Amino acid sequence: MFDICIIGAGASGMMAAISAADNNPDADIVIVEKNSVPGKKLSATGNGRCNLSNSSCPHHLFVLERFQKLGLFTRTDGSGRIYPYSEDAADVVRIMVSAMKKRKITVMYDTPVTGISKSGDTFNVRLRKNETSLSARNVLIAAGGKAGAQFGTTGDGAKLARSMGHTVSRLAPSLTAIETREDLKALAGVRAKCSISLYRSIQYCNDSLKSSLQDGIDSLKRSPQDGVSALKSSLTASVKRRGSAGNAEIPAPPAPLELVRKETGEIQFTPYGISGICVFNLSKYMRIPNGKTLKNGFDDYELQIDFLPEIDDVRRLIAELNPIDSSARNPKLDLLPSETASHISHCRATKESTLQTPAEKSISNRPALQTPAGKSVSNRPALQTPAEKSISNRPALQTPVGKSVSNRPALRLPAGEYVSNRPVPLTSLLKKPLADYINLRSRGDAEKVFSMLKKFSLHPSGLRGWDFAQVTAGGVLYEEIDELTMESRKIKGLFFAGEVLDYDGPCGGYNLQHAWETGIRAGEHMLRD
């Protein structure tokens, strides 16, 4: 009989085994792993760099101290993400495997667990391999979630937990890309820095409508034939009462939206929808309501993208930089250097009045030019290089499209660079494929263009799926677990750690921090009386 049986040689399982051995050097500990190698998913996390934790986690120093004792040194980036110093996930696995060998922890590979039962104080763990079983005084379920089936995480932990009488909330992929109903193939591969908000509809139903419905239902119960007429009449009357012009009938308003979560960062358009860290973080808040399926479970959600989060009044900005009739059906949408977009806000704030193209830098304030013989030319007529022709005595400068700019306010860009007074096109704010897409969807309507820059709406059709998700949403309810010891409140000697629990944090190391932390707690308490 083993003192401790740990199901799963992942992040939480290995950390629990090491912690248990450190607290109980003589304990007989076994890890049962379905894969042929330990830490298969851990080796791939963080694109192989292994984002161990985050400096924002309250107990990250507690975990880092454990790793330092094992011989793993770390580094923290500017965003608080903590990585092994080598930035190689394989090093983390190697150090943990080495630590388990030193502590003489038994590991059984290629050994899926098919069931658990308890008789008295002893657990019986059934194994698929040779249809055998093993006995243990304590069992830790650390078999992970369901995200990343290619790593062997197929929801086994949740099944075992249910078999032991625990409640498991609905499992869903989390930290994954979002699929949309809109066809975004034309934007595939385009990246954009923006803010993106997730909204959920609120079902509209006022008190008068509730009352009318109830009256109709009561009539329906008393007399089916009369009740149908009463129900129709009450609904019509209710809609009329809500009209804004006398008794004119109007349709019920669309369900209002409530903000669920807002993220800022870079998104990437894909053939199926959108991706990126900020999109992943929003995906964790998308849940399928009870009674709905994958087909219609995301109908109540809407995404709104603000491509210009630093700019509040887009209409005014466009009018200042590109004076056009805001009611025009076809505002010009051509490409300008991307540097313009990054300096737009600064340009408006400085309100400079000198405007020149990069090829028309002013030389009026330069020191007197010296000829090769050292003679000053300061009093000569303005010297003009081929790229710096003076415009001081010219008629109004004509842009490539023939627009006069002589009387327009001038705009200075930072670092002394200037742009000519030709119309500043809308696409100077966006990458060209995205600007073209917005122009196409807006059908040349300037007001729609302005609206789409700030509220580019997308409607989710689903999440990318288990093979692409980083973590699992849902799991064993924490209400049924002692959070200090990770022991079941229902069955003494049964413990849980890691992704099998109902926890899914944002990107940035929070989920691995949860795995390490729960593994340490379980390991330290499994042999305590």
Q: Which domains does the chain have, with CATH numbers?
A: 2-174+471-525 (3.50.50.60), 177-203+255-336+424-464 (no CATH), 207-241 (no CATH)
| Number of other residues whose CB lies within 10 A of the CB of residue 404 | 13
Q: What is the DSSP letter of 313?
A: -
Give dist(CA 447, CA 441) in Å, integer: 12
Smallest CA-to-CA distance from 519 within 500, 499, 498, 490 is with 498
CB 496 within 8 A of CB 140: yes
pTM for the model stands at 0.72
Q: List the beta bridge partners of residue 494.
A: 139
* Alpha-carbon dihedral angle through residues 254, 255, 261, 266, given to the nearest 10 degrees: -20
Give how far Cα 436 sits from Cα of 183, 186, 320, Å: 14, 10, 21
Q: Give me the phi and psi of 426, to 5 degrees please.
A: -60, -35
Give dist(CA 374, CA 361) in Å, integer: 24
Contacts of 291 (CB under 8 A, 6+ apart): none
Give dist(CA 164, CA 388) in Å, integer: 82
Give how far Cα 198 sits from Cα of 85, 466, 507, Å: 36, 21, 17
Provide the residue-wise pLDDT of the chain in tens; the chain has 529 residues.
Answer: 999 999 999 999 999 999 999 999 999 999 999 999 999 999 999 889 999 999 999 999 999 999 999 999 999 999 999 999 999 999 999 999 999 999 999 999 999 999 999 999 999 999 987 789 999 999 999 999 999 989 999 999 999 999 999 999 999 999 999 999 999 999 999 999 999 999 998 763 333 344 445 555 555 555 555 445 544 544 444 443 333 333 334 444 456 889 999 999 999 999 999 999 999 999 999 988 877 777 788 999 999 999 999 888 877 776 665 554 444 444 443 333 333 333 333 433 443 333 343 343 443 444 444 444 444 444 444 444 444 443 344 444 343 444 433 343 333 333 333 333 333 355 567 888 998 888 888 886 778 888 899 999 999 999 998 999 999 999 999 999 999 999 999 999 999 999 999 999 999 999 999 999 999 999 999 998 6
Contacts of 311 (CB under 8 A, 6+ apart): 317, 344, 345
Length of the chain: 529
